[in-house]
Amino acid sequence: MENISNIVHIGELIAVSKVFEQNPYRMITLIENGLMEVFVTKDEFLAKYGTKETYDELENWCELNNGKVFTKPKAGSE
């Protein structure tokens, strides 16, 4: 697993923590365990999930203004 701090800044975690209803520490744990994904660009996100009206396989997702996309797949969807 790549070092999370090389991908995600604490400010980004704080910014999306309300969307996912998790504290930043819990979000780091979810990312480390593969239960939450971080895409550095929206193109990476679209390459995996495609362009759709809704993403039924995701519990939730959030795009930041810097282009990063955070996702939380539904349990058992991977």
Report the relative pairing of strands 58-63 and 69-73 from DSSP bridges: antiparallel
Count Cβ atoms within 10 A of the Cβ of residue 64 and give its class: 0-12 exposed, 13-18 middle, 19 or more buried.
Answer: middle
For residue 77, pLDDT beyond 90: no
Q: What is the pTM of this model?
A: 0.88
Residue 73: band (very low, low, confident or very high) from pLDDT cuts 50, 70, 90:
very high
Domain boundaries, the chain: 4-73
Q: Is 44 helix (H, G, I), strand (E, B) or coil?
A: helix
What are the pLDDT digits (tens) for 33-70? 999 999 999 999 999 999 998 999 999 999 999 999 99
Q: From CA 34, how far away is CA 1, in angstroms rounded? A: 9
* Mean of all residue pLDDT scores within the chain: 91
Residue 3: band (very low, low, confident or very high) from pLDDT cuts 50, 70, 90:
confident
